[in-house]
Structure 1
Amino acid sequence: MSSKQFIRPQTQTPLQVSTARTPTTRVRPALNAVVLALSALFLHPATAAVDAPFVQGGKAGFVVSKISYALGPDAKDADTCPDGMSLNPVEIFQLTPEAKRHQGESDKDYGSRLDQGGWKIATAANGQNLCMNPEAGGPDPHFRTVKRSDVAVPGINMDGVNTPVGTSNDANSCHQSDFIGINGEAGVDNQFYRLVGCSRSFQTSGASNTYGIEMLTGAWGILISVSGVDDLSNDDEVEVGLYANADPIRLSPGRDPLQYATYAMDQDPRFRATTRGKIQNGVLITEPVTVRFHSIVNSLRLERELQDARLQMTLSEDGVLDGYLAGYTPVETMYDLQYGYRSGKDSQGELASLKLRLGTANGAARVLGHSCPGAYHALYQLADGNPDPNTGRCTSISTQYRVTAIPAFVVDVKTQSLNDALKQTETDDGY
């Protein structure tokens, strides 16, 4: 696990533990040791009181108020996609001779023919839809990824190794060229950026990195707890919990998350994780653990799984955590989250209708600009974690989230929150 620290903004200074001074006393030297020992016993208990309103009895709670993928620069700003951006099925069809416009063909007829051609591109030779069965199609040369590694990319070094530029994956290796960090750090593991850096929807103005908006509607959330806190500047051991939030996020009239609201942990043990950590120069650093969070796309219930996940977050004087949640997302899970939606469930926890899943996946491909088999095969090509013990093939891809969390009260109770009544209208329409 990396021990590198963030360069913290000047406005964020680590909090200090309140230290009461031993009263000056004029006693004989022989009694000084006894007096000092008694003073330490009463004025400096084993667990010192931390002078901060968001820490009570050595425990602090937080709710994630902002979350997004930690992505590198846009293609237009760093020339990371010299071959252009990824194409959707209709755009791929337009490159074929068959798509040439017929003389006298009306706009309506031509548009209909392009649409049909896009469906042809999205269908395997055996008739299977390629979003539901991406393995039935081959790698797509029109799905472009970032080849360069000499660009500054946000994130942390998760494996403690700086894999040199020019390293590529093969059937017996999980090594990919690492990036440099935004502050010059070496060995940043963020292959998800390499995957999506040439996709239009993942540029700054794109739609694929705005899933945090769904979080603010109350559909899902993330809680963090830190216990065993003795010192908010340097503490060599704390316990950290990461939980799915069972309550909707409380918002101000301006739609900003409110501090010090009370939230209940999800009671499903699959959505709870605890690990050890430390606070080093005001930065919370945790040991790896597998975490899961909820995600909702077009009323489809999905899961965000992050293996070997760890936090590296700066703690400000007003109790705001800011930094990275980083780990490795299983390839099949990431494909479902961003492209295929094959495992999407309805509000009753049952597998959603095939029509809804098909419509969502194929609609997303056209609107967001990619092909499903192109994304699927690129995920495996760029995977850099959790090698299969039998084949050596990597099964997960390094993924980093930029996260901000604000003070909150985190409780372990079964909630009767408004989330219980959050039922989005489910239709068979896609995007």
Structure 2
Amino acid sequence: MRFALATLMAITSLTPAVAHPWTKTYVVEWSEAAFYYGAKEGVIAPGTDCPKGTNPDIDWVKVMVDAGYTKEEATWLRNPANPTRSAIHSQNQMAFRGKDRANVYANPTSTPESGEFLPVSGAVAEGLNLDGDERTGFSGLAGEKGVDNNFYKALGCWKYLRGPQRQANGNQSQNGYMRDGRFTTVIVVSGQGPDPMNDPKVTVGFYDSPDAMVKDGNGNIARDYTFRIRPSAKYEVLFPAKTAGGEIVSTEAAKDAWFREPSYAREVELLKAQLRLKMQPDGSLKGYIGGYRPWRPVYQSWVDARGPVIEELMWVRLPDIYYALRRYADYSPAGPRGEKTHISYAMRVEALPAYVMTPDAKAQVAKAQSFKTLARGPDPEMARTKYNVVDGVVVPLGAKAISQTAEQLRPPAAGAAKPAVAAAQRNAAGGL
């Protein structure tokens, strides 16, 4: 008996550990461009990221005068009593400040850079080493070398996007729309090893969901709610990965990955996408997704959101955005000598535990796998501006975006102000 027991124990000690498939599922409750914040407080204050602080406020009258308008014309264009101003489009004429009255949104190089939209000059950034070269890029928060995030370098000192995590003006407003139901993304992480925290063979899946998140009594996203997967040929990404100490790291880049995004662009495409996520003690998931993002659609998304409105509310000249993204673009799908159509990018992701169901809602998802073959028809479009926007300006259906005439630009005589004020009041009520 003793011999049999000893023999059994010896055999057992030599038997490899049996695999225990495991799955963890989440819902993304916050995502934003990963911008390192180097100041102590506030948004505009100087910091290690932006030693001169954020881009300064803009004198729009001076901008128009520099573009060739008379001071009287420029002042009248910015006057709330001007009947060509509107609560819908602000002032369409702001587009026509390029050479020979070119539309600077459609032709950003028709106007020079302002010189006031400065890039990040600090040495630290958040994100991932996308190209494997530690000699280039930034240093990471933990001192790691080679972090590639030129999107941050280009736009990190912009007041609209700068601030501590979850506190930048743009990130708060856009994530608010996501959290109110604009879209939902779920994550499935599965592996085969006995220890989910240390597993050499893991798969991470990102999926679209038709189910809105639910808020608790404090306005925070509630944990442990149930979400179905909506099959999508576009918004589904599977990453081969591994875990070590609870950190999930992709082991192979996704060639072409699409995600829905809380931004004016509504979505982000990443070439050579990678991820690094950390399973937190409270059950949540935090980390980064990175890759090379086409930069022109990013610029165009702000143009399409009504250029004059974006410029006025977000403290920026849109051509400066174009020049910055073009300058710091650092990747070409055609190779090192090709046109740099993409820019290194990192997205900060935070997710909460959730129950994720199969598309038919009959069972919990057992593992990260593809559901693309179940996709039917195009993916639902997220709401965009309801106005007819052409080249960045709001115009009636069928109309072109054109500059005002000399007569329209002429300020009224002092005695003609009352009709203009009445027209402005009609515009403020919703007219064009």
TM-score, reference length from structure 1: 0.70
1:137, distance to aligned residue in structure 2 (A): 2.8
Cα distance in 2, alignment partners of residues 163 and 39 from structure 1: 46
Corresponding position of 1:244: 208
The answer as to 2:280 corresponding to 1:302 is no
Cα gap change, 1:91/1:84 in structure 2, threshold over 3 Å: closer, same or farther? farther
Change (3 A) 1:295 1:232: closer
User: 1:191 Cα deviation (Å)?
Assistant: 1.1
User: 2:328 maps to what in 1?
Assistant: 382
Q: Do structure 1's residue 96 and structure 2's residue 66 form an aligned pair? A: yes
Q: Which amino acid aligns with 1:155?
A: G
The 5 Å alignment of 1:2-81 reads 27-28=2-3, 32-37=6-11, 46-48=18-20, 57-73=21-37, 74=39, 76-78=45-47, 80=50
Contact kept, 8 Å, 2:183 with 2:382, in 1: the verdict is no
Matches of 1:114 and 1:269, distance apart in 2: 44
Separation (CA, whole Å) in 2 of partners of 1:147 and 1:386: 22
**What residue is the counterpart of 1:85 in the other structure?**
55
User: Do 1:92 and 1:142's aligned partners in 2 also have CA atoms closer than 8 Å?
Assistant: no
* Change in 2 beyond 3 A, CA 1:241/1:422: closer
Equivalents in 2 of 1:249, 1:322: separation in Å? 18
- Equivalent residue of 2:8, what SS? helix
Q: 2:160, 2:315 within 8 Å by CA — same for their partners in 1?
A: yes
Distance 2:296 2:245 in 1: 38
Please report how far the alpha carbon of residue 295 of structure 1 lies from its aligned counterpart in structure 2 after TM superposition.
4.4
* Whole-angstrom CA distance in 2 between matches of 1:257 and 1:83: 33
- Asked if 1:312 corresponds to 2:286, the answer is no
1:303 Cα shift? 2.1
- 1:292: Cα distance to partner? 1.8
1:168-187 → structure 2 map (5 Å cutoff): 178-187=137-146
Pairwise CA distance, 1:118:
8.2
Distance 1:97 1:420 in 2: 42
Q: Flag the 1:129–1:243 CA change in 2: closer, same or farther, 3 A.
A: farther
1:129 — aligned with what?
Answer: 103
Instruction: Note the aligned Cα RMSD (angstroms).
Output: 4.0
* Residues 375, 212 of structure 1: alpha-carbon distance in 2 compared, 3 angstrom cutoff: same
SS of the counterpart of 2:160? helix
Match of 1:332 in 2: 296
Deviations 1:17-68 (A, max 9, x none): xxxxxxxxx721x763434435887xx86223xxxxxxxx511111111222
SS at match of 2:351: strand
Q: How far is the alpha carbon of 1:229 from its aligned partner?
A: 4.3
Indicate if the aligned counterparts of 2:120 and 2:153 stay in contact, CA closer than 8 A. Answer: yes
Residue 83 of structure 1 contacts residue 144 of structure 1 at CA under 8 Å; is this kept in 2? no
Partners of 2:64 and 2:381 in 1: CA distance = 45
Distance between the aligned counterparts of 2:382 and 2:53, measured in 1?
44
Distance 1:386 1:86, change over 3 A: farther
Q: 2:187 aligns with which of 219, 224, 228?
A: 224
Please give the alpha-carbon distance, in whole angstroms, between the structure 2 residues aligned to 1:111 and 1:385: 47
Contact between 2:330 and 2:343, CA under 8 Å: does it hold in 1?
A: yes
Following TM superposition, by how much is the alpha carbon of 1:100 offset from its aligned partner in structure 2, in angstroms?
A: 7.6
Partner of 1:278: 242
2 CA distance for matches of 1:112 and 1:163?
Answer: 55
Displacement after TM superposition at 1:241 (Å) = 0.5
Tell me how far 1:364 sits from its aligned partner: 0.7
Instruction: Give the number of equivalent residue pairs.
Output: 357
Q: State whether residues 321 and 404 of structure 1, in contact with CA within 8 Å, keep that contact through their aligned partners in structure 2.
A: yes
2:130 touches 2:148 (CA, 8 Å); kept in 1?
yes
Q: Structure 1's 284 and 117: CA in aligned 2 closer, same or farther, altered over 3 A?
A: closer
User: What secondary structure sits across from 1:199 in the alignment?
Assistant: coil
The CA distance in 1 between the partners of 2:115 and 2:253, in whole Å, is 36
Shift of 1:285: 0.6
For 1:141 and 1:195, how far apart are their aligned partners in 2? 15
| Cα pair 1:93 1:117 within 8 Å, conserved | no
Task: Work out whether residues 248 and 276 of structure 2, in 8 Å CA contact, stay in contact via their aligned partners in 1.
Answer: yes
Matched, 1:426 2:379: no
TM-score (norm 2): 0.70
Counterpart of 1:252 in 2: which secondary structure?
coil
Aligned to 2:346, which of 369, 376, 400?
Answer: 400
> Residues of 2 paired with 1:207 and 1:140: CA distance?
24
* CA deviation map 1:101-130 (0-9, x unaligned): 66xx89985985998998356454466533
Q: Percent of pairs identical after alignment? A: 21
- Residues 218-258 of structure 1, C-alpha deviations (whole Å, 9 max, x = no match): 11122111112421221111111112232111221222222
